[in-house]
Amino acid sequence: MLRHDRRTHHSTSTEEKHVAKDRKPDAGRAGGGSSRSGSGARPVSTTKGAASKGASPRGAAPGRGPAPRNGGRGRTRPPTQVVTQSRPWGLIAAAVAVVVFAAAAITYAVVQVRAADAERVDALDEISGIQSFDYAAGQEHVATPVEYEQSPPVGGPHDGEWADCTGTVYDVDVRHENAVHSMEHGAVWIAYDPDEVTGDDVAKLAELVDGVSGRLLSPYAGLDSAVSLQSWNHQLKVDSVDDPRIEQFADFLTFNGEVEGHYPEIGASCENPTFVADPLVVGDSSRGAGATTTDAPTTPTMGADGSTETPTE
């Protein structure tokens, strides 16, 4: 009986030694100080995951590894929502359009001014093809038709009533004797051949005359050029309404009292509403004394220094 107990004790001791040899430190206690009190140690996990990942970090719950980074079932931080403000593209586009339009308008204005300056003349001899004559002041007023040397006329005897020349566009061949009186007051008379100049061409000439005081426009039957421009003692004939000399002549000679051979009656009126309402045409008789607007012919007077002066009426 005693022998059996000894064998049993010996066997038990041998098994404890084998167990002690196989025992390894608890992975959760590595470097962590004393082992847990109590009977027996915690079995060491032999799973592949536990062996590869190593010990849990300090403070982590026992038995839990770090949260998976991708594809795990643990809690993940919600994505940050970035709120962007939409830009007012409509306002930006409108502002750009305004700037572009303003720049284009300014550029156009500058180009037009430079073009006008380039075509402006400061002397008669700068207008190519202009002809000058020598009709003196003090021409006789007549109520009968006049046979003029030039066609259209540029001076000489004329009717006592002038054709309105306040930028008036006539669609009839105005009586020539009345138009000559208008030139005596400083007007530029633009005549055109109605058989050659029509439609838009007439409209282009009208733009140069309409509403501009000191100018009148009318058709002229039998004209030997497309357009003829007259002022007192000066004339220019051109073959096209697009000729730049038309505007040069009109701008330079309208009410120009300083040019050589200028019109006699400086300061005289161009207004004649009666003639606008009822214009006289070629072949009509003069209204003579019945005209509401007439003036006496001018006669040059001798000054103290021998120069001549023309009184304004």
* Statement to judge: residues 173 and 253 lie in one domain: yes
User: Which residue, of 84, 104, 122, is where some domain finishes?
Assistant: 122
In a domain, 19, yes or no: no
* Statement to judge: residues 140 and 253 lie in one domain: yes
* Statement to judge: residues 175 and 294 lie in one domain: yes
* Statement to judge: residues 286 and 247 lie in one domain: yes
In a domain, 285, yes or no: yes
Residue 136 near residue 300, CB atoms below 8 Å: yes
Residue 271: partners with Cβ closer than 8 Å, 6 or more residues away: 164, 166, 293
* Statement to judge: residues 102 and 175 lie in one domain: no
d(CA 76, CA 63): 20
pTM, entire model: 0.60
State residue 69's pLDDT score: 58
Q: Which domain holds residue 278?
A: 128-299
* Statement to judge: residues 224 and 152 lie in one domain: yes
* Statement to judge: residues 118 and 132 lie in one domain: no
* Statement to judge: residues 281 and 133 lie in one domain: yes
Residue 61 near residue 33, CB atoms below 8 Å: no
d(CA 252, CA 85): 62
* Statement to judge: residues 145 and 243 lie in one domain: yes
How confident is the prediction along the chain (313 residues), in pLDDT tens digits per residue? 444 444 544 444 444 444 444 455 454 444 444 444 444 445 444 444 444 444 444 544 555 555 555 555 667 777 777 666 777 888 888 999 999 988 888 878 766 655 555 578 899 999 999 999 999 988 899 999 999 999 999 999 999 999 999 999 999 999 999 999 999 999 999 999 999 999 999 999 999 999 999 999 999 999 999 999 999 999 999 999 999 999 999 999 999 999 888 999 999 999 999 999 999 999 999 998 777 777 755 444 333 333 334 333 3
In a domain, 109, yes or no: yes
Nearest to 42 by CA among 55, 56, 28, 31: 28
* Statement to judge: residues 246 and 187 lie in one domain: yes
220: tokens are 């002229």
In a domain, 181, yes or no: yes
User: Which residue, of 74, 107, 122, is where some domain finishes?
Assistant: 122
d(CA 99, CA 126): 40
In a domain, 214, yes or no: yes
* Statement to judge: residues 169 and 115 lie in one domain: no
In a domain, 180, yes or no: yes
* Preceding amide of 279 cis, omega within 30: no
d(CA 184, CA 310): 12
* Statement to judge: residues 113 and 134 lie in one domain: no
Nearest to 191 by CA among 169, 160, 207, 212: 169
Angle at 119 (CA atoms; ends 110, 245), nearest 5 degrees: 140
Count structural domains, the chain.
2
